[in-house]
Amino acid sequence: MSAIRVLIEARPFAAFDPAPMERLRDCGFDLIDRRGLGVNDPAFMEALQQVDLVLSGNDLVVSAELLDRAPNLRAVCKLGVGLDMIDMGAATARGVIVFHTPGANDQAVADHTFALILSLARQIVRFHTGVRAGLWEHTTVLGMEIAEKTFGILGLGSIGRSVALRAKGFGCEVVACDPFWPQAFASEHKIRQVELGELLRVSDIVSLHCPYLPSSYKLIGERELSLMKKTAILVNTARGELVDEAALCRFLKEGRIAGAALDVLETEPPKESEILTAPNVIVTPHTAAFTLESMNKMSKGCVDQIIEYASGQLPRHTVNREAFYPYGTGLLGGAAGIACDPGQCSS
C-alpha cells in the first residue's frame, strides 16, 4: 500500500532540529514540505487535495470550506495547543480527527509571562531605550515590586498552573477562576477560587491563560477593565481576541489602569494599531511559546502522534475522539504503509 501523505504547513516544525522531519522520512511517510511558503499559493491547495494528514501551525485556518476541498484528509496534527483556528465541528462531521501537543510550551509561555510582568513593573524597556538615547533616569521613575502582590489568573490549565507556581515563588497571593477547577493543585498551592469580577477587583496583576472561544471574545472589555485597580497591570499571552484593545487603549491613556503587557493582538501583525500608541504598554510578536526547548518538544510530540495514528492507534492528545477510525479500516483505503511499527520508529 502507498505511504501516508503528510502536508507540513507549520513553519516552526523541525525548524531548529531536523531530527523530527528525518524520523518521519525514515518511517516511510510521503512528505510534502510547505513550511513558510504560505497557504494562499494555488500549489498549497493542490497539495492539500492529495494528502491524508496536515501538520498545521497558527497560519492555517482549517475551516469547513478548506476541509471540503481536501477529500482525502483524515487527520490534522496541530503544532502547539491552541485550536481556535480549527473548526472542530466541521472536522468531526467529516471524520477528520484533530490532535495537538498540549504541555509542550507551558514553561516557555510561563517564563515569557513573567518576563513581560517584570519588564513592565520595573520599566525595563523605557530605561533601556532611554540609556541608549543618552538619558539617565536614575531616580525619576519608580517601579512596582511583584513580591506579595495579589496575582489573578484567568485559566488554570497547564500554562496557568505554571504561571501560578512562579507567582507563588514571588510570595504572591494567587487567586484564579476557571470553569474546570483543578481542586487538588489549587489546594496544594493555596490558590483561592474566585469569580471573574472579584478577581479583577482584588488583583494587582491580571494574567490571561484561557482559550479563545466565541463565548470569550473580548472577555476583558470596558466593564471588566473598570473593575481593575488603577495601579494594576494586565498581561495577555493567550489570544488577542480575549481583550477589547480599543477599551484597553482608552484606559491606559486615561490612567485608569497602570499598564499592559501583550504578546498577542487582535490583528497579527498589527496594522496601525492604536494600542501601540498607548502609554506604559509592552508588546511582543506572539513569541511566548518560541524557545528551542518548546519547539523541539512540540515537533517531537507531533511525530509521536502521527506514528501512533499511522499504526492504527488513537493519538494520545486527540480532541475529537468520536471522529477516529483506525488507519486501515478502509476509510483511508488500506494499510498504513509506514516502514516500521511504533516501537521501531520511537525515538
Report the distance separating Cα 228 and Cα 205, nearest Å: 9
Could you confirm whether 286 is annotated as catalytic?
A: yes
Contact 124, 71 (CB under 8 A): no
Question: Burial level of 238, CB count in 10 A (0-12/13-18/19+)?
Answer: buried
At 6, list the grid cell. 503528510
Contact (CB, 8 A) for 178 and 160: yes
268 is catalytic: yes
Of 11, 192, 256, 286, which is the active-site residue?
A: 286
Cβ atoms within 10 Å of 79's Cβ, excluding its own: 26
Catalytic residue flag (residue 192): no
Active-site residue, selected from the candidate residues 224, 239, 245, 317? 239
CB under 8 Å to 115, separation ≥6 — which residues?
none
Closest CA to 151 of 187, 204, 197: 204
Helices (H), 94-195: 106-121, 124-132, 158-169, 183-188
**Active-site choice (22, 148, 268, 293):** 268
Closest to 206 (Cα-Cα) out of 258, 274, 279? 258
What amino acid positions are annotated as catalytic residues? 239, 268, 286
